[in-house]
Amino acid sequence: METAEKTLDEILTLAAAHFKVPREKLSPDEDFFKALGIDSLQTLDLLTKLENHFRVELPDYELQGVTDFRTLAAKIQARL
Amino acid sequence: MNSFEGQTLSWQLKNGVVELALHREPLNEISSLTLGELEKFVSALNSLSGEAHAVIIYSALPAGFCAGADLRELYQWIQQYGQAEVAGHTREYLERIHAVMNALDASPLTTIAAVHGVTFGGGFELALTCDLIIADKLARFCFPELRLGLIPGYGGIPRLKRDIGNAVMRDLLLTGRSFNATKAQQIGLVSQVVSEGEALQAARATAGQMAKFDRQTAAVAKRFIKQIPHEELRREIDIFCDLIARPAVQAGLKKFVESTDAQPYLP
């Protein structure tokens, strides 16, 4: 069972690698749209990457209004 | 016609495989222009069948396979024809698109959809006409029509029911949520999941394998195992036409058209 902190750390690492952003520039409570400079289409890519990495399903209706990494991690943690 | 270069799609016959490339920016939205070129393609398939054994449908655009129907065009019709006449015009359009989808579904050639990225609505329905769907692992599927107060109108529900027909299908349809290629493979909609950017190559390799077999036997096998749900397809058109004239649909389409989001069809 992954801890919430470990899940959050893995999300930040994965997002940084996929969108080629320095990992140290991302912080848990940041708006990931702004931090990663992504649009809704790229957000779908991120969602798929996260689902594949954590082997979970994240229904997009559960993610409506989610903009920061910490809340995203909590949503994933709830499905691990 | 062994090759064609259209405004929304192109095709060419090479080594016994007809490759149909979708290339209408921004994301291959299916408009009446696309439909006209798909009708040309289906018509050409009859003559290509003698020289080919397989068809591959793919997108030449990096963002994805196809975002579905051109909803801006649909909204324009409603404005143009008014509530009273829109159902009739919609029925005429759906009859044409169902004829194309049914022809692809029933083609004696083996058909493969090679998909990546957004494969939504009508784009998903186009893929479902194919015998096999090969998906890039970043492909994402969705039937978002209920968000607009509609149901899928290009044959999606009867073909989904044919292929999986269970509670997962109801979940996907009734929530309008998107799902990834792994899930699509788990539920039996996708037969192969490949690395990012590899769907077309995998489809070509699969088509190459199929070239080894007797063409007539393959066509007979396909006809035997893949029947077209004509009765349900007819009912789908009726239901769609009943729904389209409602004010709720017009309001949903208006909201979509007026959205400033570059990809308003996304969740």
The tokens 């009912």 sit on which residue?
A: B235
Tokens of B199: 């769907």
**B213 located within any domain:** yes
Average predicted confidence (pLDDT) for chain A: 91
Residue B138 lies in a domain: yes
Higher-confidence position of B61 and B266: B61
The reported pLDDT for the residue numbered A43 is 87
Give the domain range for residue B173. 3-258
- A49/B138 touch (CB, cutoff 8 Å), yes or no: yes
- Residue spans of alpha helices (H) in chain A: 4-19, 32-36, 40-54, 69-77
Residue B266: the pLDDT is 54
Q: What is the pLDDT of residues B228-245, one digit of tens each?
A: 999 999 999 999 999 988
Q: How many domains does chain B have?
A: 1
- Between B70-84, B199-213, B231-245, the lowest mean confidence (pLDDT) is in B70-84
Query: Cβ-count burial of B177 within 10 angstroms (0-12 exposed, 13-18 middle, 19+ buried)?
Result: buried
- Do the domain assignments include residue B228? yes
CB distance from B147 to chain A under 8 Å?
no
Helix (H) or strand (E) holding B223: helix B215-225
Look up the CATH number of the domain holding residue B107: 3.90.226.10
Higher pLDDT, B213 or B267: B213
Q: What is the mean pLDDT of chain B?
A: 93
Give the number of residues written for chain A.
80
Average pLDDT, integer, range A55-71: 91
Q: What is the mean pLDDT of residues A27-50?
A: 89
Residue B267 has pLDDT above 60, yes or no: no
pTM: 0.94
ipTM of the complex: 0.87
pLDDT at A1 over 70: no
Helix axes A40-54, A4-19, angle to 10 degrees: 130
Residue B237: inside a domain, yes or no?
yes
Proportion of chain B above pLDDT 90, given as a percent: 78
Q: Is the pLDDT of residue B47 over 80?
A: yes
Q: What 3-state class would DSSP assign to B116?
A: coil
Q: pLDDT-derived band of residue B36, with 50, 70 and 90 as boundaries?
A: very high
Domain boundaries, chain A: 4-77
Distance (Å, whole) CA B50 – CA A12: 54
Residue B198 has pLDDT above 70, yes or no: yes
Amino acid, res. B118: V
pLDDT tens string B106-162: 999 999 999 999 999 999 999 999 999 999 999 999 999 998 889 999 999 999 999
> B23 to chain A, minimum CA–CA distance in Å?
18
In 3D space, the residue among B167, B171, B160 whose CA is nearest the CA of residue B233 turns out to be: B160
CB contact residues (below 8 A), chain A span 8-67, against chain B: 39-41, 43-45, 47-49, 51-52, 57, 59-61, 63-64
**Chain B residues within 8 A of A60 when measuring between CB atoms:** 177-178, 267
Looking at residues B237-257, what average pLDDT do you find? 88
pLDDT for B259 beyond 80: no
B160-169 mean pLDDT: 90
Quote the minimal CA–CA distance from A24 to chain B in Å: 26
At residue B261 the predicted structure's pLDDT band, cuts being 50, 70 and 90, is: low
Nearest alpha-carbon partner for B57 in B157, B199, B161, B229: B199
Q: Which helix (H) or strand (E) holds B71?
A: helix B71-106
Q: What burial class does residue B126 get, using C-beta atoms within 10 Å of its C-beta: 0-12 exposed, 13-18 middle, 19+ buried? A: buried
User: Could you tell me if A32 and A72 are in contact, meaning their C-beta atoms sit under 8 angstroms apart?
Assistant: yes
Q: Do B183 and A39 touch (CB under 8 A)?
A: no
Examine residue B267 and state whether it is found in any structural domain, yes or no: no
CATH class of this structure's domain A4-77 = mainly alpha
**CA–CA distance, B122 with B87 (Å, rounded to integer):** 18
CA distance linking residue B184 with residue B135, whole number of Å? 9
What ranges make up the beta strands (E) of B108-245?
A: 110-115, 118-120, 132-136, 140-142, 179-180, 192-194
Whether A44 and B140 lie within 8 Å, measured CB to CB: yes
Q: Is pLDDT above 70 for B178?
A: yes
| Residues whose CB falls within 8 Å of the CB of residue B263, separated by 6 or more in sequence, listed in order | A39, A40, A41, B26, B27, B67, B118
Q: How far A41 CA sits from the closest chain B CA (Å)? A: 7
Residue B147: count other Cβ atoms within 10 Å of its Cβ: 15
Please say if the pLDDT value at position B265 is more than 80. no
What is the number of CB-based contacts under 8 A between chain A and chain B?
50
Q: Which residue has the tokens 């259209």?
A: B6
The partner residue sitting opposite A61, judged by closest CB among B138, B177, B182, is: B177
> What angle is formed at CA B29 by the lines to CA B28 and CA B30, rounded to 5 degrees?
105
